[in-house]
Amino acid sequence: MGGMPSAHVRITDLAVHERPRERLRRLGADALTEAEILALMISSGRPGVNAVDTAQQLIVSVGGIAGLASAAVEDVERVPGIGPAAASRIVAAVELNRRIALGVRPAPVSGTAGVAAAVLPHLRDRPRERMVVAVLDRRLRVRDVVCVAEGTVAHTSVPVADIIRAVLLRGGQAFAVAHNHPGGGLEPSVADERATEQLRAAAAASGLRFLDHVIVAGEHWRAVS
């Protein structure tokens, strides 16, 4: 059985049938390690460190393979040997996987708990405050979850017009918004409550259904009343 190359071994020094690309073609993608899959997107390492070892360093740097779900391009680029092109490929691949997962999610959103389940992967563990909109079809199934604003560790504005535009451009007929509190705490501010009223009015004026405005802090959440 093939496996991940040892440190300081160039991939081109491996037998052809042991290289990640050839193993993928011969055995399928599920035969590869996570580091080997990433190595195919990194393409080449740096002197003394091959692409698989570089990929392993990336996995460690983001706290495990699941950490890639929230990694930005600049987080990936911090790993020596990963340039802008490779970092963009990796982040784009993660985003494509997220959209595929959204596409096969059949269950409609049900209440605030359903909104929270849709947005949590996009907000938890984010170091800065971020706002996302969950775009829903008429049956309240998620079509997409889109970041519409990102601010400081303490504040981001609510771009009401951009939110409505994002929903309409994606063919949505309903939507919910959510933002995180990186410092913890779920108490809505006066600004949060005012933004909720503005969103409700804008939705009505645009013929859209507005479900909820949710605050996320870690794994916890609550609705803005």
pLDDT band at 175 (very low <50, low <70, confident <90, very high): very high
Query: How far from chain centre, in Å, is Cα 206?
Result: 28
pLDDT, average across residues 34-57: 86
pLDDT of residue 224: 92
> What are 49's strand-pairing partners?
46
pLDDT band at 10 (very low <50, low <70, confident <90, very high): low
Report helix, strand or coil for 222: strand
Tokens matching residue 12: 């081109």
Report helix, strand or coil for 50: coil
pLDDT of residue 7: 46
Supply the mean pLDDT for the chain: 84
Q: How far apart (Å, rounded) are the C-alpha atoms in residues 195 and 44?
A: 47
Question: What are 64-123's pLDDT values in tens digits?
Answer: 888 888 888 999 999 999 999 999 999 999 988 877 776 655 578 888 999 999 999 888
**4 has pLDDT over 60:** no
Report helix, strand or coil for 167: helix
CA triple 5-9-15, angle to 5 deg: 65
Q: How far apart (Å, rounded) are the C-alpha atoms in residues 90 and 136?
A: 27
**149 has pLDDT over 80:** yes
pLDDT of residue 1: 38
> What are 175's strand-pairing partners?
135, 210
Q: How far apart (Å, rounded) are the C-alpha atoms in residues 44 and 40?
A: 8
Sign of the Cα torsion 142, 183, 188, 196 reads negative
Is residue 55 within a helix (H) or strand (E), and if so which, with residue range?
Answer: helix 51-61
Question: What are 202-219's pLDDT values in tens digits?
Answer: 999 999 999 999 999 988
How far CA 203 is from CA of 24, 46, 191, 198, 211, in Å, comes to 48, 52, 18, 9, 10
